Amino acid sequence: MVIVKDRKEPVERTTICVINQKGGAGKSTSCFHLSGAFAQLGHNVLVIDADPQGSISQGFFGSAHVESLAPQQTLAALFDEDRYLAGPELLIHRTPVERVWLVPANDSLSVHNCPAPATAGLKQFVLREFVRGLVEFDLVLIDCPPNLYQCSWNGLLAADAVMIPVPPEDFGTQGLRVVHQAITEAQTLNPVLAVLGHLISRYDRRLLVHRTYADKLRQLYGPSVLATVIPEAVAFKMAVTCRQPVTLSHPRSTAAGLTSLLAREILARTEGKSAQRHLGKSAPRHVA
């Protein structure tokens, strides 16, 4: 399968790892909807589902299809040399969304998501090697699972930038210290890795606790916190049931508008001079 026929030369590519060991923080939701927004801005986007739960894969293709995929058609193949003999083309699936492709995952990835990633030798770098070999995509989004095991570690070592979705409440901000620690450790093996920013996600402005925590996050992390805030909005859920990013399924919704705004803000941070200003080399301090 030739993926993008009009691309012969390597392009400058940005790989963004979306991480937080907190479950339900909005990692998959961010990746899913941002992929559509980036595509609408003219980018060729590869989404890598690095989560054995396969949430984002199911968002694009439905659960029955994703569960039926053989390991060699999923990210699991990268961790298993015998299954990766056919090369990347078996893994990269065209999605129903124009300009968006997906490396899916399902439960076959679980066995490779070991909890002590730094002891895994060359297995730590399989995603990095895979991404480096791709010439067709401008943007790669890696959706990580809610832990800091091998899959997330591979994501951090493969990425240029890391984004951390954070629901602005106590449970949402718990565990940020270990996330930042993992980023700092990853930077020793992947010196180009920069902190793209913290994304306030699932925000409900009616809640005092959300307003308070959003302020607290901005006080603690300053410009690392992205200006765009993603609200809790039913349009995001409805879009997924349509198997489409919200910018395509509900283009006039507030959710779509904010997703486009976020995509532009991310591009501004990763492109040109503003990247130097905003992208932090070191992981920021944790929430006190």
Ligand X SMILES: Nc1ncnc2c1ncn2[C@@H]1O[C@H](COP(=O)(O)OP(=O)(O)OP(=O)(O)O)[C@@H](O)[C@H]1O
Cα torsion 252, 258, 262, 265: sign? positive
# of chain residues touching ligand X (CB under 6 A)? 19
Q: Among residues 13, 27, 93, 128, which is the contact residue for ligand X, using CB under 6 A?
A: 27
Q: Which listed residue (21, 55, 74, 154) binds Mg ion by CB under 5 A?
A: 55
* Residue 128 interacts with ligand X (CB under 6 A): yes or no: no
Beta strands in the chain (DSSP E): 14-18, 45-49, 93-94, 100-103, 139-143, 161-166, 194-200
Please choose, out of 21-29, 113-121, 247-255, 266-274, the segment that lies near Mg ion by the rule CB under 5 A: 21-29
Contacted entry of Mg ion, ligand X, none for residue 280, CB cut-off 5 to 8 Å set by kind: none
At its nearest, how many Å lie between ligand X and the CB of residue 104? 14
- CB of residue 185 to Mg ion, shortest distance in Å: 22
Which one of residues 23, 62, 87, 223 is an interface residue with ligand X (CB under 6 A)? 23
- Per CB under 6 A, contacts with ligand X among 187-206 are 201-202
- Look at the chain and count its residues: 288
Report the distance separating Cα 247 and Cα 236, nearest Å. Answer: 9
Q: Which of 13, 22, 27, 93 binds Mg ion (CB under 5 A)?
A: 27
Choose among ligand X, Mg ion, none what residue 99 binds, the Cβ cut-off being 5 to 8 Å by kind.
none
Query: 231, exposed or middle or buried, with CB in 10 Å at 0-12, 13-18, 19+?
Result: middle
Closer residue to ligand X in complex, CB, 55/108: 55
Location of structure tokens 């409805």: 238
User: What string of DSSP letters covers 141-166?
Assistant: EEE--SS-SHHHHHHHHH-SEEEEEE
User: Could you give the C-alpha distances from 247 to 20, 34, 165, 236, in angstroms and in order?
Assistant: 24, 9, 19, 9
Largest CA distance in the chain: 54
Task: Point out which span in 34-42, 49-57, 231-239, 263-271 binds Mg ion (CB under 5 A).
Answer: 49-57
Q: Which stretch binds ligand X (CB under 6 A): 17-25, 148-156, 214-222, 269-277?
A: 17-25
Nearer to ligand X, 26 or 168 (CB): 26
Spell out, one character per residue from 231 to 250, where the chain touches ligand X: x when CB under 6 A holds, - when not: -xx--xx-------------
The Cα–Cα gap between 241 and 59 comes to 7
The rounded distance, in Å, linking the Cα atoms of 154 and 148 is 10
Interface residue list for ligand X (CB under 6 A): 23-29, 51, 53, 55, 145-146, 201-202, 230, 232-233, 236-237
Report the interface residues with Mg ion, using CB under 5 A.
27-28, 55
